[in-house]
Amino acid sequence: MTRSYFGTDGVRGTVGEAPMTADFVLRLGYAAGKVLAAREAGAADRPAVLIGKDTRISGYMIEAALEAGFSAAGVDVLLCGPLPTPGVAYLTRALRLAAGVVISASHNPYGDNGIKIFSGDGFKLADAVESEIERALGEPIGCNASAHLGRARRVDDAGGRYVEFCKSTFPVHLDLRGLRLVVDCAHGAAYSVAPHVFHELGADVVPVGVSPDGFNINDLFGATSPAQLQAAVLRHQADLGIALDGDGDRLIMADAQGALYDGDQLLYAIVRHRAMKEKVAGVAGTLMTNLALEQAFQRLGVAFARARVGDRYVLELMREKGWQLGGENSGHIICLERHTTGDGIVSALQVLAAMRETQKTLGELTADLVMFPQVLVNVQVPRGFDWKKDRSIADAQAAAEKSLDGKGRVLLRPSGTEPLVRVMVEGESRQIVEAAANSIAAAVRRAVAG
C-alpha cells in the first residue's frame, strides 16, 4: 500500500499546512485510536496511550486534537508534557500501554511539527500498523457514545521516571565526579531532564539551551547548531560538551578544546570500548556512515552493514541481524541492550562510561579513526521533484565519481523529513570532495530552476 501521510519518521510538515492541521490531527487520533482499540479487543480495560511533546508552540494545539481523537475512539490518554522522544518510548513500555505518541519535528525549526507513534514494546510502530491507520483515515470520523469515551489524565512524575531510567544505563561502579559538563538541550524536550541526569551522577553541569519559549527550539543551539556548545565549553573550561537536538534523540559532543565529535565517532568510541571487553557481533550504519568507520570496524574484527538513512532502518537492520549497536553520523545512536530507540542522553552516558573505565579522553578513544573528508550539501527542491530523471544531474554525478578515482563515494538522496535533495561526497582529498559536491548541487539547482 502506498502511504500518503506516514514517512520515515511518522507524520511531519509545516504547521497550518496539510497534514499538520487541527482537523487532520483530530482524524489521525481517532483513526489510530480505532486501530489500537481493535487490536486490544477483549482486554479487560480500555487501551491507553501516552502523549509527550517537545517545546514548540504548536504542541498545545496538536496535543489537544490528538487527545480529542483518541478519546472519541474510546482510548484513554495519559499526558506527560515536554519529554524527549526516547523518554516517551521508555514510559510506554514501563507503563504497559498500547502505544506512545510523540509530538515533535525533531531537529526541524519551530514552524514544523510531527507525530510519531511507538508500539507498546517501546519500538517504533510497525509499517503494517501505520498502513492500517492510513486506511482508517480514509473512513468518516465518528465518536463513541458517552459511556465508551476515553478518559485523560496527566502523568506528573514522567520526567523523574525517565531521569532514573537514564541513570540506570550507566555502570553502577562509576560516577561523573570531577567532570564539568556543558549540556545543551536545544531549548527542546530534554531541557528539564538532561541536566539532572548528569548532575545526579556527580558531574558539575553547565546547562545551556534550557529556556524554551515555544519558538526557539533548535535555533542556534543543540546538536544541529553546535557553535554555542563549543563556545560554552571553552568559556567554562569544561571537560566535555554534550548537545542534544529538539526531541533528545540525537547526540553531538565536544572535547575540552572545543573539537566536535559526530555520531560516527561517538559510535566508534562505544564499540571500541565494548570490543575490548566482549565480542561485538556487528554494527549497523547507514549509507551516510563515513567510510573510515567501516574500515575501522574491519580492523577490530567487527562486522558492519549499511541501512537506508533513518534510525528506523538502522533499527530494522539491527533486529534482523541480532546486533546490539548501530547509529547514524547525524547523532542517532542505538544501544539495544540499553533502550529500544536512539537516545541522546543514554548514548552520552555510554561514551562517558568508556572514558571513565579506560581513563582516556574522547580524542584518545577515537585517535585511530581518521575520518574521510565528507561534504553534505542540502538543495531545496519542490515536493515530489524526481532528480533521478534529469540527465544533467546524472552527468554531474558521473563526473564527480570519476574525479574521486575510485577512492570515495557519491550519494544523492531525498530527505525523508524536508523538501530537500541531500548531496554527499566523500573521499581522500577535501578539495576534490568539495568541488564534486558543489558541482552536483549546482546541477540540481539548475534542474529545479529549469
Q: Residues with catalytic annotation?
A: 106
Residues 6+ apart with CB under 8 A from 29: 65, 66, 67, 68, 69, 70, 72, 73
d(CA 303, CA 305): 7
**Secondary structure of 263-313 in the HEC alphabet?**
HHHHHHHHHHHHHHHCCCCEEEEECCCCHHHHHHHHHHCCEEEEECCCHHH
Task: Count CA within 13 A, CB hemisphere, residue 171.
Answer: 12
Q: Using alpha carbons, select from 353, 343, 282, 350 the residue that is nearest to residue 317.
A: 282
Work out the burial of residue 165: count CB atoms within 10 Å of its CB; fewer than 13 is exposed, 13-18 middle, 19 or more buried. buried
* Residues 157 and 23 sit within 8 Å (Cβ to Cβ): no
Strand extents, DSSP E, 120-267? 152-154, 180-184, 204-208, 240-244, 251-255, 260-261
- Determine how many CB atoms are found less than 10 A away from the CB of residue 128: 8
Q: Using alpha carbons, select from 59, 2, 4 the residue that is nearest to residue 31.
A: 4
Alpha carbon 326 to chain centroid distance?
A: 13
Question: What angle do helix axes 127-137 and 22-39 make, rounded to 10 degrees?
Answer: 120
Q: At 87, phi and psi to the nearest 5?
A: -65, -40
Region class of 222: left (phi > 0), else alpha (psi between -120 and 50), else beta = left
Q: Give the amino acid at 235.
A: R
Cα–Cα distances in Å, from 408 out to 277, 373, 411, 427? Answer: 33, 9, 10, 4
Cell of 190: 530534554
Neighbour-count burial for 148-158, b at 16+ CB within 10 Å, e otherwise: ebbebeebeeb
Q: Using alpha carbons, select from 162, 174, 221, 183 the residue that is nearest to residue 343.
A: 162
**Alpha-helical regions (H) of 322-390:** 344-358, 362-365
In this structure, the chain runs to a length of 450
